Structure 1
């Protein structure tokens, strides 16, 4: 299992994409943070990508 905390100190909305067994996406509003809980139930490579 994995816990991720994303912080956004910028003035724009950020989008974080987590690819693995299933697709997850989390938005982080300007000057705030978010935490997500993701079951990392497969062995392999996980991609975490950021987009404005």
Structure 2
């Protein structure tokens, strides 16, 4: 999602905790989707997924 603040709108105050869990369980971002917790390190450009 390109909107600012979407993380807090979707997950509220839980976002930080969920992001820490995501980084622990999946440090190399094997699992990615949008909008998902921790997807800020990637951007979809056309049909490619690129690290930001």
Length-normalised TM-score, structure 2: 0.23
Q: Which has the higher contact order (CA 8 A, sep 6+)?
A: 1
The structure carrying a bigger helix percent of its residues is 2
Length-normalised TM-score, structure 1: 0.23
The structure carrying a bigger strand percent of its residues is 1
